[in-house]
């Protein structure tokens, strides 16, 4: 397929892997921030190709994984209301809340629909003026512009029965939190290309300078990731700590100004809880007062929601790179994709699910050899 096959070419990929092995004089520890990159790395077996040269730690960049339990429970409560059509991206439907997931609410009669864009949810609201349409606005800076646009359009078109349940998070505060942790092992980052396509990379320059870590803005195809890793390793080997851009076909330093502007007009920064990690100051987005009418949490009285995470789930350590999924005692036993204890086992982008689905063989290999 044009514009995809070129970035999945086997010989070029193997040449990039060889370049990384040649460059690395020791084993470096890098974190790919975004769950989409984790997916590619594990699915294509890239971490195995780089064994010995680079250890990849899977970062907190899976929106499904870091959406806090109380927001999931609010979604479940909203979806169960008879007047509500609850709309969401597909992979939020299986994320376990305190006692069930959105698929279970749908089976009990809740009107839960998968949409591919928040603008589709807005269109549903226009066609069903007698119902309240709520969109589950999760994600990083990547999904924020479309969600901002949906709210903006709702106000412009005077569609009163549309609202969003906001659980937006932003990448740079999470990177700072990881680097500030005394247990941190991360020596360099692959920044998420799609996030930077919106935001640019100016926010990352002070992080690279203050913590002396290389940050490479990286795409999502196998060759993107291998090239991004090569650039980060070459920086580490030469003692540099700069922000570099591997994803030149999509990202500029300034990002996409109209999208950024729209996000800034609709949303403002706020403290946000991250599932498994805790509250990170000013790490989330919330609707500005001018758009408060479109905030589902204000529109509906959801009462008090108290939550408690399963004690065996160590998602927080996984999401900050301190624990490999398969080193978690619950991994593959108490916690599987059929019965996930925590969100990283749910989404195909989640580090635990990626390991479970694609990495099981490698975990079994030494036993087979012996």
Site for another protein, rule CB under 8 A: 1, 4, 8-10, 13-14, 17, 36, 42-46, 48-49, 63-64, 89-94, 103, 114, 116, 138-140, 142-143, 194, 222, 226, 336-338, 347-349, 356-362, 364, 368
Smallest distance from another protein to CB 44, Å: 5
Least distance (Å) between residue 178 CB and another protein: 21
DSSP 6-49: GGG-HHHHHHHHHHHHHH-SS-EEEEEEEHHHHHHHHHTTHHHH
When the beta carbons of 71 and 142 are compared against another protein, the nearer one is: 142
Best CA proximity match to 60, nearest among 309, 300, 280: 280
Shortest CB 97 distance to another protein, Å = 16
Nearer to another protein, 42 or 57 (CB): 42
Strands (E), the chain: 28-34, 54-61, 84-88, 111-114, 132-139, 162-169, 188-192, 215-218, 243-245, 267-274, 278-287
Task: State in angstroms the smallest separation of the CB of 94 from another protein.
Answer: 6
Which CB atom, from 19 or from 241, has the smaller least distance to another protein? Answer: 19
Quote the CA–CA distance of 161 and 164 in Å, as a whole number: 10
36 exposure class (CB count in 10 Å sphere: 0-12, 13-18, 19+): buried
CA atoms of 369 and 365, how far apart (whole Å): 6
Comparing CA positions, the residue from 104, 49, 93 lying closest to residue 67 is 93
Is the CB of 75 or the CB of 213 nearer to another protein? 75
CB of 189 to another protein, least distance (A): 19
CB of 65 or CB of 208, closer to another protein: 65
């Amino acid at each position: 397929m044009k514009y995809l096959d070129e970035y999945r070419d086997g010989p070029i990929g193997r040449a990039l892997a060889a370049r990384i092995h040649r460059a690395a004089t020791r084993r470096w520890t890098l974190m790919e921030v975004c769950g989409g990159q984790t997916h590619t790395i594990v699915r294509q077996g890239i971490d195995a190709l780089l064994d010995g040269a680079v250890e990849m730690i899977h970062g907190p960049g899976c929106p499904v994984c870091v959406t806090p339990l109380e927001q999931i429970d609010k979604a479940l409560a909203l979806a169960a209301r008879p007047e509500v059509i609850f709309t969401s991206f597909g992979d939020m439907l299986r994320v376990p809340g305190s006692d069930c997931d959105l698929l279970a609410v749908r089976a009990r009669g809740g009107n839960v629909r998968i949409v591919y864009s928040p603008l589709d949810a807005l269109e549903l609201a226009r066609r069903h003026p007698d119902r309240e349409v709520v969109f589950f606005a999760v994600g990083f800076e990547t999904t924020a512009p479309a969600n901002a646009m949906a709210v903006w359009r709702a106000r412009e078109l005077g569609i009163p029965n549309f609202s969003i349940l906001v659980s937006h998070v932003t990448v740079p505060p999470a990177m700072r939190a990881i680097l500030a942790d005394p247990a941190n092992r991360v020596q360099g980052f692959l920044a998420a290309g799609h996030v930077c396509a919106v935001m640019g990379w100016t926010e990352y320059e002070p992080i690279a300078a203050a913590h002396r870590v290389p940050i490479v803005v990286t795409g999502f195809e196998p060759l993107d990731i291998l090239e991004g890793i090569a650039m980060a390793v070459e920086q580490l080997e030469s003692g540099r700590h700069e922000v570099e851009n591997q994803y030149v076909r999509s990202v500029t330093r300034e990002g996409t100004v109209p999208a950024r502007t729209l996000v800034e007009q609709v949303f403002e920064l706020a403290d946000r809880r991250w599932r498994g990690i805790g509250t990170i100051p000013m790490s989330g987005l919330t609707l500005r007062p001018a758009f408060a009418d479109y905030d589902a949490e204000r529109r509906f009285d959801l009462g008090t929601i108290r939550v408690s995470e399963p004690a065996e789930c160590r998602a927080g350590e996984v999401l900050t790179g301190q624990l490999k999924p398969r080193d978690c005692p619950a991994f593959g036993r108490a916690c599987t994709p059929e019965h996930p204890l925590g969100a990283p086992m749910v989404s195909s982008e989640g580090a635990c699910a990626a390991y479970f689905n694609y990495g099981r063989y490698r975990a079994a290999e030494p036993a087979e050899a012996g």
